[in-house]
Amino acid sequence: MKNPAARAAAFPRSEIRVLFDRAAAREGAIRLEVGEPSFKTPDHIVEAAAEAARAGHTGYGPNGGLAGLRELLSHKIARVDGFTAPPENIVVTPGGMNALFSCFLALLDPGDEVLIPTPGFPNLDHIVRLLGGRPVFYPLSAADGFLPDPDRLASLVTGRTSMLFVNTPANPTGAVYPAGLMQNLVELCDRSDLWLLSDEVYDELILDEDAVHTSAARYDTAGRVITVYSFSKVYAMTGWRVGYAAAPGPVAGLLSKLQEPQVSCPSTISQKAAEAALLGPREPIRAMLDAYRRRRRAALAAASEAGLSFVAPAGTMYMLVRVETGGRSMIRFALDLLDDHGVSVAPGSVFGPGGEGYVRISLAADDLRIVEGLHRLAAAVRVGS
Ligand SMILES: Cc1ncc(COP(=O)(O)O)c(C=O)c1O
């Protein structure tokens, strides 16, 4: 019997999925581990997709996405992300995830090093490894508000470093990188001749009204910044799988070309839904944002009242809470929390070595369940310590 590819066999199963499956099997569990918005896709988007399907928009589309959608995305990027990206520099993909994968596929040679934040979005180091690259973690600490220090980053650059990956607003920390920092990071990449891949899929989920999202692309003068966005979280459209990258012309051409052997093109019906999302009323989107902001306030109050240690998130739909595991591994702690207290959280270890000692709670649950979940978490931490 032939063996499967070594890279596939070596690939670990996501711990968050282990927890997800256990939590799903436990009736009444308070589910704070998920990154799935608690809202359904707004009705006008669903209707527009059904209408598009009936009207015959059911075939293959261009590799890089429908021209009409890319035109609308160019306006969205100018309005929300504050830079100019002509439609031909935008490539629509099946989710932000595929945009990220395609960027690494386009830009990484085997052996290349990629600077990746920890705690950070877990899928990244897996993608880099799958493609033969080497993830090099840069640690983020609560004391610095989980913001990277450009000087420390510079000290990690070697002759093999090919790319700096950043994520703002950041999963799981909720940090929103200030404009000055974004500029410094682009300048660092200029000095060291690195690609800068900036994951900005939470660009419109700013929870702290004083925080402002700043795109890395605003400071790109050398054609080295690629930004990635998604309809998943902002429009509650995770299952539709629509994301996109904005890239300098030559990179956008590669990304578009690489769609053919991977997926041919993103779903045409989903792209019609995305067009409706951009053209339709803003109120349903505003209402979801208001709910996340309200839940954040409730979570901060409950966590303070329960004596938990945390860093208030400025954006995204997550919050990291510090826990003392009493010597248990993070996943063991999370499974015990679920079994003994009926609350599921994402163990920090899934976010790389910098996630040790934290759990991530999601603001996708309703306010009362978030508050109850945090109280139970505090009780578990007290018992465990
Ligand atoms: C930081 C970050 N980037 C990218 C994604 C991918 O999202 P999607 O593929 O649904 O667009 C996620 C999803 O959780 C995320 O948290």
The pLDDT profile of the chain, 385 residues, written as one tens digit per residue, is 888 888 888 887 777 788 889 998 988 899 999 888 889 999 999 999 999 999 999 999 999 999 999 999 999 999 999 999 999 999 999 999 999 999 999 999 999 999 999 999 988 888 999 999 999 999 999 999 999 999 999 999 999 999 999 999 999 999 999 999 999 999 999 999 999 999 999 999 999 999 999 999 999 999 999 999 999 999 999 999 999 999 999 999 999 999 999 999 999 999 999 999 999 999 999 999 999 999 999 999 999 999 999 999 999 999 999 998 888 999 999 999 999 999 999 999 999 999 999 999 999 988 999 999 999 999 998 765 4
Mutating to test ligand 1, I would choose from 171, 240, 242 the residue with most ligand atoms within 8 A of its C-beta, which is: 171
Tell the residue number behind the tokens 């500029």, with chain if given.
Answer: 183
**Strand (E) positions, the chain?**
30-31, 90-93, 113-118, 134-139, 161-167, 195-199, 225-230, 243-246, 309-310, 318-322, 343-344, 346-347, 358-362
**For residue 41, which of 278, 277, 210, 318 has the smallest C-alpha distance?**
277
pTM for the model stands at: 0.97
Burial of 146 by CB count in 10 Å (0-12 exposed, 13-18 middle, 19+ buried)? buried
| pLDDT on residue 383 | 63
Distance from the CA of 190 to the center of ligand 1, in angstroms? 27
Tell the residue number behind the tokens 């993103």, with chain if given.
Answer: 266
Distance from the CA of 344 to the center of ligand 1, in angstroms? 20
What is 57-279's CATH number?
3.40.640.10
CA distance 230 to 97: 9
**For residue 73, which of 57, 56, 92, 47 has the smallest C-alpha distance?**
92
What does the domain layout of the chain look like in residue ranges?
6-41+283-384, 57-279
161: helix, coil or strand? strand
**For residue 69, which of 51, 84, 88, 82 has the smallest C-alpha distance?**
88
CA distance 225 to 197: 6
Distance from the CA of 231 to the center of ligand 1, in angstroms? 10
| pLDDT on residue 7 | 83
Q: Which residues line ligand 1 (CB under 6 A)?
A: 35, 95-97, 121, 167, 171, 199, 201, 230, 232, 238, 243
Q: Is the dihedral of CA 83, 80, 362, 375 positive or negative?
A: positive
Residue nearest to atom 7 of ligand 1 (CA): 96
314: helix, coil or strand? coil
Per-residue b/e over 152-165, b at no fewer than 16 CB within 10 Å?
ebeeebeeebbbbb
Beta-carbon-side half-sphere exposure of residue 107 (alpha carbons within 13 Å)? 30
Alpha helix positions (H), 80-239: 95-107, 123-130, 150-156, 179-192
**Are the beta carbons of 315 and 174 closer than 8 angstroms?**
yes
One CATH from 3.40.1190.20, 3.90.1150.10, 2.40.50.140, 3.40.50.2000 for 6-41+283-384: 3.90.1150.10
Whether 57-279 and 6-41+283-384 are alike in CATH topology: the answer is: no
**Are the beta carbons of 117 and 147 closer than 8 angstroms?**
no
**Are the beta carbons of 367 and 380 closer than 8 angstroms?**
no
CA distance 136 to 197: 14
